Amino acid sequence: MKTIYKFEVDYGRHGSLSGIFSCEKEEIESLIGKEIHFGDVLGKHSEVILILQKEHLTEVTNDEKFVELFDEYNLQKGFNPLDYHSQEEVYGILDNANNEIVFSGSQSEVNNEYNKNYSFGLYDIVILY
């Protein structure tokens, strides 16, 4: 069910993040407890990383007509955690001698490839994004 949420996080004198947006309830619930990388949103070198908690979100309404109008008039404003969360991290195998990525994929794909062909010392598994 599509719902409108208010998002708020206060970082004291450094600033705050807030927004209002609509999404499927399951979508936002799947992000609870996950890392959200907002980047330098509070200034140069701020690198804001947040573990999303239920306390950061307020359910405004799930009234179908209201949500429909909210979306129709594009009333979303501010920060939406869904815009900053990478659904799946991408891993890679780094060739340390040449400083090159020789293989990339999901964590399981990279682990399998590493164990088959690259586990002999000159290679490391890295998170690309």
Q: Model confidence over 33-60: pLDDT tens digits?
A: 888 888 889 998 888 989 899 999 999 9
- The whole-number pLDDT of residue 89 equals 65
Phi first, then psi: what are they for 102, rounded to 5°?
A: -100, -15
pLDDT band at 66 (very low <50, low <70, confident <90, very high): very high
Q: Collapsing DSSP states into helix, strand and coil, what is residue 11?
A: coil
Q: What are the extents of the domains in the chain?
A: 2-83, 91-127
Q: Tokens 């450094």 — which residue?
A: 14
Residues 73-104 pLDDT 10s: 999 999 999 998 866 667 788 888 888 888 88
- The whole-number pLDDT of residue 2 equals 96
**Whether pTM exceeds 0.85:** no
CA distance 67 to 63: 6
- The whole-number pLDDT of residue 88 equals 62
Report the pLDDT averaged over residues 107-121: 82
Phi first, then psi: what are they for 61, rounded to 5°?
A: -165, 155
Q: Which residues contact 5 (CB under 8 A, 6 or more apart)?
A: 20, 21, 22, 23, 28, 57, 58, 59, 60
> Regarding predicted confidence, which is higher, 107 or 116?
116
